């Protein structure tokens, strides 16, 4: 059986969109602010393949080549894409109600335009993209 393992290797520089929210993630991890989910879009490849000696399973280690935090305005489209992909992967055209509720709640929790912790809002009402504030 094949499996997936994530690696700590993240892209550097402009390919790592998580750098813009790193201070927020650190504050959440250190329990200085409430933890939030964030939707990201990533491009991955296989870093290496290992074999689990106990089972003989082949495990692919995934490396992120590019990762970006999605904008709040794009969360509705992202939710639809996740649903479509999950339905295609699972072969179910209608997902179980519990799973539908989990997905809906996750995306609902990700966006709060009034939140001062919104990574797209520099606190002045202007959206931030790539570390720069839109004017």
- Tell me: the pLDDT tens digits for 14-57? 889 989 999 999 999 999 999 999 999 999 998 889 999 999 99
Residue 23 lies in a domain: yes
**pLDDT above 80: residue 117:** no
Selection from 79, 54, 69, 42 nearest residue 3 by Cα: 54
* Tokens at 11, concatenated: 């892209």
Question: Chain-wide mean pLDDT for the chain?
Answer: 79
Helices 97-110 and 75-90, interaxial angle, to 10°? 150
Residue 78 lies in a domain: yes
Find out whether 6 and 104 touch, Cβ atoms under 8 Å. Answer: no
Q: Tell whether 89 and 63 lie within a shared domain.
A: no
Taking the C-alpha atoms of residue 110 and residue 8, their distance in angstroms, rounded to an integer, is: 23
* Residue at token pair 């999605």: 70
Residue 133 lies in a domain: no
Q: Tell whether 23 and 53 lie within a shared domain.
A: yes
Q: Could you give the residue ranges of the DSSP H alpha helices within the chain?
A: 22-29, 75-90, 97-110
Taking the C-alpha atoms of residue 93 and residue 46, their distance in angstroms, rounded to an integer, is: 30
Rounded to 5 degrees, φ, ψ at 86 are: -65, -40
Residue 122 lies in a domain: no
Widest Cα–Cα separation across the chain: 57
Expressed as residue numbers, the domain containing 94 is: 71-114
Q: Tell whether 60 and 75 lie within a shared domain.
A: no
Q: What is the mean pLDDT of residues 2-17?
A: 77
Q: Tell whether 42 and 65 lie within a shared domain.
A: yes
Q: Tell whether 76 and 65 lie within a shared domain.
A: no
Q: Tell whether 4 and 59 lie within a shared domain.
A: yes
């Amino acid at each position: 059986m094949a499996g997936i393992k994530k690696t700590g290797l993240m892209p550097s520089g402009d390919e790592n969109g998580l750098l813009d929210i790193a201070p927020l993630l650190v504050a959440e991890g250190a329990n200085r602010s409430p933890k939030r989910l964030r939707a990201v879009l990533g491009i991955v490849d296989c870093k290496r393949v290992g074999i689990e000696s106990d089972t003989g399973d082949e495990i692919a280690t995934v490396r992120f080549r590019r990762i970006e935090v999605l904008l709040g305005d794009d969360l509705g489209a992202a939710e639809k894409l996740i649903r479509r992909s999950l339905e295609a992967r699972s072969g179910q055209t209608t997902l179980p109600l519990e799973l539908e509720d989990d997905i809906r709640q996750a995306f609902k929790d990700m966006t709060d335009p009034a939140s001062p912790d919104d990574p797209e809002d520099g606190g002045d009402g202007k959206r931030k993209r790539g570390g720069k504030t839109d004017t």
